[in-house]
Amino acid sequence: MDIHEYQAKEILAKFGVAVPPGALAYSPEQAAYRARELGGNRWIVKAQVHAGGRGKAGGVKLCRSEHEIQDATNEMFGRKLVTHQTGAEGKGIYRVYVEGAVEFTREIYLGLVLDRSSQRVMIVASSEGGMEIEEISAKRPDSIVRSTVEPAVGLQEFQAREIAFSLGIPAALIPQMVRTLQGCYRAFRDLDATMVEINPLVITADNRILALDAKMTFDGNALFRHPQIAELRDKSQEDPRESRAADRGLAYIGLTGNIGCIVNGAGLAMATMDTIKLAGGEPANFLDIGGGATPERVAKAFRLVMSDENVEAILVNIFAGINRCDWVAEGVVQALTANPVDVPVIVRLSGTNVEEGQKILAKSGLPIIRANTLMEAAERAVTAWKNDRKQNTRMRAI
């Protein structure tokens, strides 16, 4: 789960990371009022959306008066911000963060991520902050410092100092840098984060280390033990299809194709999407309905997939190991009887009790297209989708 910049800053500040003074606003008037409260004469107004790259997309503006703040925020509120991380549809701006403008002499990149190969938290830093990490690794890969943390002892001071030295932090600022690194690590570990990113972390003109941007992502599976983090969830920033799925305990990712997928198991779901593409189609979603594909779950999955208006065919691909094909078939029949769908449905069952499952589908009298292998299922789905499309076009023409 992602959170907003101002929320990440508030959390990191509690762990000892220094941030500039700032305030949140929900309207242009409030933004101007909050700037007055903060004091000073130069402010940065920042659109709060769950995406980076806001600066280049007009979501971060320097303002020199309350008037300019009103103008800048009038421009932001109610519109969608499209950055290279949001996709073409963008993310709605409903809050802005007003921050005192900071003069700085250096920008540093700092990121903490889970490194799967070493199974550790890895600190990634670069003296070339300001650019995105992808750009740094393309243009200045030699500037990147990586260091993994031994979980039994946490981030040790000597290790944090080593990172600071390799970034060329001036000696007088090393203790501040150590505090920042250790604060980020503790926040990451204590709150079950999967990512902490500060870009840029700056050295100010008056020699302080400050986080000018902050991003945190949390492990959704651990949110139950961090209610104070769980409540920071902002559904306005999520794909509505994905929010609905998350609320129902299904792992769903919305895509842009037309063939809806209902699959048990994440690996099989990935393979199903690949095979649809191989057969010349485009998947509308990733959906893993989990191992225990009960009739209720199958019904929920159908409703969820059909709520995407781009879906023009549905491919159900179930491999029953612990599960049983006859149960799944019952689920499909129940779901389609209770909520008939007006698109072709292709079902491929494999594994335990497959014969019984096939019989149930055949006996149901529902227009279900059956397939035995994954490739066959994908090909039939693509053919059925194309035929159905042609028919619909002809009907519209009449």
| 99 counts as binding ligand ADP under rule CB under 6 A | yes
Secondary structure (3-state) at 182: helix
Residue number, 102 or 223, with CB nearest to ligand ADP = 102
60, interface contact from ligand ADP, Mg ion, none, CB < 5-8 Å by kind: ligand ADP
| 220 counts as binding ligand ADP under rule CB under 6 A | no
**Interface residues for ligand ADP in 189-218 (CB under 6 A)?**
199-200, 212-213
Told to judge if 109 belongs to the known catalytic residues of this protein, a careful annotator would answer yes
- Of the residues 197, 312, 330, 379, which is catalytic? 197
Question: Binder to ligand ADP among 13, 102, 271, 306 (CB under 6 A)?
Answer: 102
- Of the residues 6, 97, 107, 109, which is catalytic? 109
Stated as kind and residue range, the H or E segment containing 172 is none
| 44 counts as binding ligand ADP under rule CB under 6 A | yes
> Closest Cα partner for 56 from 24, 85, 94?
85
| 128 counts as binding ligand ADP under rule CB under 6 A | no
Question: Binder to ligand ADP among 4, 11, 12, 20 (CB under 6 A)?
Answer: 20
Bond prior to 151 in cis (omega within 30° of 0): no
| 101 counts as binding ligand ADP under rule CB under 6 A | yes
212, interface contact from ligand ADP, Mg ion, none, CB < 5-8 Å by kind: ligand ADP
Strands 313-320, 259-263: pairing is parallel
- Partnered with residue 44 across adjacent β-strands are 62, 99
| 398, two tokens | 């009449």
- Please tell me the distance from the alpha carbon of residue 115 to that of residue 186, in angstroms, as a whole number: 16
149, interface contact from ligand ADP, Mg ion, none, CB < 5-8 Å by kind: none
- Please tell me the distance from the alpha carbon of residue 95 to that of residue 91, in angstroms, as a whole number: 12
Min dist CB 78 to ligand ADP, Å, is 19
Told to judge if 197 belongs to the known catalytic residues of this protein, a careful annotator would answer yes
308, interface contact from ligand ADP, Mg ion, none, CB < 5-8 Å by kind: none
Residues that bind Mg ion (CB under 5 A): 199, 213
58, interface contact from ligand ADP, Mg ion, none, CB < 5-8 Å by kind: none
Q: How far from chain centre, in Å, is Cα 88?
A: 15
CB 10 within 8 A of CB 26: no
Residue number, 197 or 308, with CB nearest to ligand ADP = 197
Work out the number of other CB atoms within 10 angstroms of the CB of residue 247: 9
Residue number, 213 or 234, with CB nearest to ligand ADP = 213
| 202, two tokens | 């700056």
- Binding residues for ligand ADP, how many (CB under 6 A)? 16
Residue number, 9 or 324, with CB nearest to ligand ADP = 9
> Closest Cα partner for 62 from 86, 46, 83, 78?
46
- Please tell me the distance from the alpha carbon of residue 239 to that of residue 252, in angstroms, as a whole number: 10
| 265 counts as binding ligand ADP under rule CB under 6 A | no
Which class for 284: exposed (0-12), middle (13-18), buried (19 or more C-beta within 10 A)?
Answer: buried
| 133 counts as binding ligand ADP under rule CB under 6 A | no
Which class for 168: exposed (0-12), middle (13-18), buried (19 or more C-beta within 10 A)?
Answer: exposed
Residue number, 97 or 286, with CB nearest to ligand ADP = 97
* CA–CA–CA angle 74, 78, 79 (5° rounding): 95
Secondary structure (3-state) at 390: helix
Min dist CB 77 to ligand ADP, Å, is 17
User: Interface residues with ligand ADP (CB under 6 A)?
Assistant: 20, 44, 46, 52-55, 60, 99, 101-102, 130, 199-200, 212-213
Which of the residues are catalytic? Answer: 109, 197
